[in-house]
Amino acid sequence: MKILILGGTAEARELANRLVAKGHDVMSSLAGRTSDPKLPGGDIRMGKFGGIPGLCAYMRAVGTERLVDATHPYAGLISVNAVSAAKATGIPLVRFMRPAWEQREGDDWLTLQTVAEAAAALPANADVLLTTGHMGLEAFVSRDDCQFVVRLIEPPAFELPRHASLLLSRPPYDVVGELRLMEREGITHLVTKNSGGGQTAAKLEAARRLGVKVLMIARPAYGPAMEVSDLDAAMLAVEAGALPGPA
């Protein structure tokens, strides 16, 4: 079966590897934002498609039989486009969406809908560990009444102001390391997106232990699709003989 995976996550790599091992013709599409990414088995495509028309044209041209959206929960436009492209072409769409993190006893969370809301909600003089990625970074660092540790995989496109320090690192992270970071930097607030998964969850445990306030940015809604939350279910959904397309 010819399968297009919109990837870039650890789960997308694992799914591609499993499907390739079973003999499927897999193309993983990566946005190309990260230099030297970890690559899955099968073929690789880098870069954008050119919106919904471009994605539709590509899938028709190569004979795609299944479309899998296994991008980050906050990937944004590509996930929206996947729903429309699947509907336009009739190609079944499977969305892999890792389970969201849930608040536990001892957590101090404030859930917000947007980056702008989170930036506005920070109190003056907060010492912030910022783990929300590149999108919307300007909204936070414009708060010159706060101090930021900005953790990213790749450097930002602009120079950070004096009240923000850059920490380049890649997950996974462990609780010991996150505790040391927060204690060393005197972190009072953690700002994060509800990405789910285990690779970056240690920061939430560290925040819980240290009494750090968490500003949690909620997930966007992407529209209807057959959605699964674990890799075994994803394998079954992709290989199913007939899948209902998006409504």
The continuous run of DSSP H or E covering 206 comes out as helix 202-210
Q: CA–CA separation, 77 vs 222, rounded Å?
A: 9
- Residue 245 has a pLDDT of 43
Q: Which amino acid is at 91?
A: I
> Where do the domains of the chain lie, and which CATH numbers do they carry?
2-99+220-239 (3.40.50.720), 109-217 (3.40.50.2000)
Asked if residue 89 lies in contact with residue 60, where contact means CB atoms within 8 angstroms, the answer is yes
- Each residue's pLDDT, cut to its tens digit, for the chain (247 residues) gives 999 999 988 899 999 999 999 999 999 999 866 666 789 999 999 989 999 999 999 999 999 999 999 998 888 789 999 999 999 999 999 999 989 999 999 999 999 999 999 999 999 999 999 999 998 999 999 999 999 999 999 999 999 999 999 999 999 999 999 999 999 999 999 999 999 989 999 999 999 999 999 999 999 888 888 999 999 999 999 988 444 444 4
The strand pairing partners of 93, in sequence order, are 67
**How many other C-beta atoms are found inside a 10 Å radius of the C-beta of residue 75?**
19
Classify residue 118 as exposed, middle or buried by CB count within 10 Å of its CB (0-12, 13-18, 19+): buried
The continuous run of DSSP H or E covering 233 comes out as helix 231-239
- Residue 34 has a pLDDT of 64
- Cα-flanking dihedrals φ and ψ of residue 147, to 5°? -110, 135
DSSP code string of 110-171: EEESSHHHHHHHSPTT-EEEE-S-STTHHHHHT-TTSEEEEEESS--SSPPPTTEEEEE--S
- Residue 223 has a pLDDT of 82
Q: CA–CA separation, 19 vs 163, rounded Å?
A: 46
- Residue 247 has a pLDDT of 40
DSSP code string of 34-103: SSS----SSEEEES---HHHHHHHHHHHHT--EEEE-S-TT--HHHHHHHHHHHHH---EEEE-PPPP--
CB proximity list for 71: less than 8 A, separation 6 or greater: 6, 7, 8, 9, 12, 78, 79
- Residue 193 has a pLDDT of 96
Helices 231-239 and 10-21: crossing angle in degrees, nearest 10, is 50
CB proximity list for 119: less than 8 A, separation 6 or greater: 136, 139, 140, 142, 143
Asked if residue 42 lies in contact with residue 27, where contact means CB atoms within 8 angstroms, the answer is yes
Two tokens at 12?
Answer: 């997308």
- Residue 32 has a pLDDT of 67
